[in-house]
Amino acid sequence: MTTDMSNISTTPEQPPVEAIRHSPAVAVLLIHGQADLHSAPELREQLHRVIDDGAFHVVVDLTDATFVDSMTLGVLLGGVKRLRPQGGQLRVVVTQPGLRRIFEVTLLDRVFMLFPTRAEALDRL
């Protein structure tokens, strides 16, 4: 039995993107629901904010994401371009095979470091 999660959306209590400061140099961005053209501007804003505040390692956790579109992938690529010159990394947590497949088909699994858990993504940062 499969569960259709395409109609799950965020609620006013649950923002599409949450930023958590793991340490002064490391931030975690949690994505909830659909990571699409509607949530991409907030993701970009949060990503820029944590980088501007001194994080040079960012973990984007897609565990609670139900969908990822090209706009979101573009925002993540922009994050990589901002972090790499300062020796930083953008790591992505992808637990769902369908979402992981998006990164593989677009060959972005060669650009982003993909991890099955947040703990593994945070390891050695």
Q: What is the pLDDT of residues 54-97, one digit of tens each?
A: 999 999 999 999 999 999 999 999 999 999 999 999 999 999 99
Which pTM does this prediction carry?
0.88
| pLDDT digit string, tens, across residues 17-46 | 999 999 999 999 999 999 999 999 999 999
Average pLDDT taken over every residue of the chain: 91
Query: Could you tell me which residue, 49 or 7, shows the higher pLDDT?
Result: 49
The span from the CA of 2 to the CA of 23, in Å, is 38
Residue 1 lies in a domain: no
Which residue range is the domain that position 79 belongs to? 17-122
Structural domain count of the chain? 1
Establish if 48 belongs to a structural domain: yes
80 occurs within a structural domain: yes
In 3-state terms, the chain is what percent helix, strand and coil (to 5)?
40, 30, 35
